C-alpha cells in the first residue's frame, strides 16, 4: 500500500511539473514575469512600483526568436551563448493609474520635462549596481526604452559583466533612487539557475 502511495505521489509531481512547463515561446517569456517563480522583485514607494526583472541568457535569446518559425537547437544554443557573458536586468518604474511620474529637483535645482528625460537617458546608469559575493559591479550596458511621452511607465535595460569563475545563483541589485523617492532600494535574487529549458518550449 505504501509503495502504491509513493507511485501516486511521484506521478502527481511529474504531472504538476509538466503542467507548469511552458509549452511555447510566449508561455516561456511569461513564466519569468510571474513573481512566484522568483525572477521579478518589487518595491513600492507611495504611488510608485519599482520592478526589477532578471533576464538570464535563455530568456534574452527567447526574445530574439520568432514565435511563428521553427528553430534548430544549434540556432538556439548560439543565441544563448551570445548573451552568456553578462547578467541582464530590466528595471521598470510604474506609477499607479492616473499618476504621472514626477521627480525631485536635482542638487543644482534642475527640474522639468527636458531635465528629467536627460537624467533618465544618461544618469540612471550611475544609480544602479550589482553585488555578487562581495564584488560590486557597474553596468557594462544601459538602454533607456524611451516612449513618446513620459507617462506612468519607464523601462531600463541593464547588463553587468559576468565572471564565469565567480558565477553565482544569488546576487543583489541596488538602485539609488535620487530622482523620485530619495531612497536606496535593494532587490535580492536567489536560485537563478532554476528555470525551464528554452529548447523544451520549442518542441
Express each pLDDT in 136-157 by its tens digit: 999 999 999 865 455 567 899 9
Predicted pLDDT at 193:
86
- Whether residue 45 has pLDDT greater than 60: yes
Q: Residue 119: which H helix or E strand, with range?
A: helix 113-122
| 62: in domain | yes
Task: Report the C-alpha gap between 175 and 58 in whole angstroms.
Answer: 25
Give SS3 for 89.
Answer: strand
- Whether residue 12 has pLDDT greater than 80: no
| 63: in domain | yes
Predicted pLDDT at 122:
87
Task: Report the C-alpha gap between 127 and 76 in whole angstroms.
Answer: 33
| 74: in domain | yes
Task: Report the C-alpha gap between 128 and 43 in whole angstroms.
Answer: 15
HSE, side-chain direction, 13 A CA sphere, residue 110: 12
Q: How confident is the model at residue 23 (pLDDT cuts 50, 70, 90)?
A: confident
Predicted pLDDT at 5:
46
Q: How confident is the model at residue 9 (pLDDT cuts 50, 70, 90)?
A: very low
| 40: in domain | yes
Predicted pLDDT at 103:
55
To the nearest 5 percent, what fractions of the chain are helix, strand and coil?
Answer: 30, 30, 40
Task: Report the C-alpha gap between 185 and 203 in whole angstroms.
Answer: 40
Q: Which residues, 6+ apart, have CB-to-CB distance to 119 below 8 Å?
A: 103, 106, 179
Task: Report the C-alpha gap between 138 and 125 in whole angstroms.
Answer: 8
- Whether residue 173 has pLDDT greater than 50: yes
Judged on CB neighbours under 10 Å (0-12, 13-18, 19+), 38 is: middle
Indicate which CATH number applies to the domain containing 173: 2.60.40.10
Grid cell listed for 180:
523620485
| Nearest alpha carbon to residue 84 among 51, 53, 55 | 55
Grid cell listed for 104:
525631485
Domain total in the chain: 1
Give SS3 for 138.
Answer: coil
Domain that residue 74 falls in: 22-202
- Spatial strand order in the sheet of 153-161: 40-45, 48-55, 86-95, 153-161, 141-144
| 4: in domain | no
| 92: in domain | yes
List the beta bridge partners of residue 128.
Answer: 175
Highest mean pLDDT among 32-36, 65-69, 166-170: 32-36
| 69: in domain | yes
Percent of the chain at pLDDT exceeding 70? 77
| 2: in domain | no
Amino acid at each position: 500500500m505504501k509503495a502504491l502511495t509513493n507511485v501516486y505521489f511521484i506521478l502527481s509531481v511529474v504531472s504538476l511539473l509538466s503542467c507548469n512547463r511552458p509549452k511555447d515561446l510566449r508561455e516561456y517569456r511569461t513564466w519569468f514575469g510571474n513573481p512566484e517563480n522568483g525572477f521579478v522583485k518589487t518595491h513600492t514607494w507611495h504611488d510608485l512600483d519599482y520592478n526589477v526583472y532578471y533576464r538570464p541568457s535563455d530568456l534574452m535569446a527567447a526574445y530574439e526568436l520568432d514565435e511563428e518559425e521553427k528553430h534548430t537547437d544549434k540556432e538556439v544554443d548560439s543565441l544563448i551563448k551570445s548573451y552568456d557573458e553578462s547578467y541582464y536586468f530590466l528595471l521598470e518604474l510604474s506609477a499607479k493609474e492616473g499618476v504621472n511620474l514626477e521627480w525631485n529637483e536635482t542638487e543644482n535645482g534642475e527640474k522639468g520635462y527636458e531635465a528629467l528625460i536627460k537624467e533618465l537617458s544618461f544618469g540612471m546608469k550611475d544609480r544602479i549596481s550589482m553585488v555578487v559575493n562581495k564584488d560590486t559591479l557597474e553596468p557594462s550596458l544601459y538602454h533607456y526604452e524611451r516612449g513618446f511621452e513620459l507617462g506612468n511607465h519607464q523601462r531600463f535595460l541593464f547588463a553587468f559583466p559576468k565572471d564565469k569563475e565567480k558565477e553565482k545563483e544569488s546576487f543583489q541589485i541596488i538602485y539609488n533612487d535620487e530622482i523620485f523617492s530619495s531612497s536606496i532600494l535593494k532587490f535580492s535574487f536567489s536560485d537563478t539557475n532554476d528555470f525551464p529549458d528554452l529548447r523544451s518550449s520549442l518542441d
